[in-house]
Amino acid sequence: MSGARGVKSVNMDNKVLECPRDHTTMDEVTVGDAHLDLCGKCGGQFFDTGEMFAAFGVKADPSYWDRDETGGGVKEGNIGCPRCRKHMLLQDVKYDGTHVEIDRCGHCGGVWLDKGEVESLMTIGEKIKPLLDKQKADAQAELDKMGEVDFGGAGLIARFLGLFSKKK
């Protein structure tokens, strides 16, 4: 008996999940590298944190749709998380005429998507990509500018090392 683990953690071993909408037992399906839980009755899908990227690729990743530009309003939801049973939050995601309201668990990071919502998220990911590419390019240009005043690269590292050698 170890007895050291007093902290209750999220039960990730909970094998059989129940659909939060109609309480149907969900089927575990494999998409890409991910295992997600699918309700055969309403078509809803539950993703554990990180699985959306693994299942549907980069445009389904939260870094694409979970942003200031997509609204991001969050309010109290009305379903419980299939994984950890906590109350889920409703998050507004909208961009350029596409709008979807997803259920998200603030506790385990799981995402519940009703039928068709993953497609809407990917549409948003598709539409927002040029904007993100531009932001990345701007950030890179900013870095390049810093490089011109000899602040980055070897110069910075040399100064950093210099701080330590002075102490000796």
Q: In this complex, which beta carbon is closest to Zn ion, that of residue 35 or of residue 94?
A: 35
Q: Which residues contact 89 (CB under 8 A, 6 or more apart)?
A: 74, 75, 76, 77, 103, 104, 105, 106
Q: Which of 37, 26, 32 is nearest to 111 (CA)?
A: 37
Residues 109-138 vs Zn ion: string with x where CB under 5 A? -x----------------------------
Q: Out of 34, 84, 90, 132, point to the residue binding Zn ion (CB under 5 A).
A: 84
Min separation Cβ 111 and Zn ion, Å: 9
Which residues, 30 to 59, sit near Zn ion by CB under 5 A?
39, 41-42, 44
Task: Select the residue interacting with Zn ion from 38, 55, 100, 108 (CB under 5 A).
Answer: 108
Query: Using the rule CB under 5 A, is 104 a contact of Zn ion?
Result: no
Q: Residue 121 CB, nearest distance to Zn ion (Å)?
A: 18
Closest CB to Zn ion among residues 108, 128:
108
Distance set, CA 148 to CA 39, 140, 142 (Å) = 56, 13, 10
- The region of 14-22, 69-77, 135-143, 148-156 touching Zn ion under the rule CB under 5 A is 14-22
Angstrom CA distances, 78 to 55, 103, 104, stand at 26, 9, 11
Is the separation of the CB atoms in 61 and 46 below 8 Å? no
Which residues are within 8 A (CB) of 45 and not within 5 positions of it... i.e. 6 or more apart? 36, 37, 38, 39, 112, 113, 118
Quote the least distance from Cβ 77 to Zn ion, whole Å. Answer: 11
Residues that bind Zn ion (CB under 5 A): 19, 21-22, 24, 39, 41-42, 44, 81, 83-84, 105, 107-108, 110
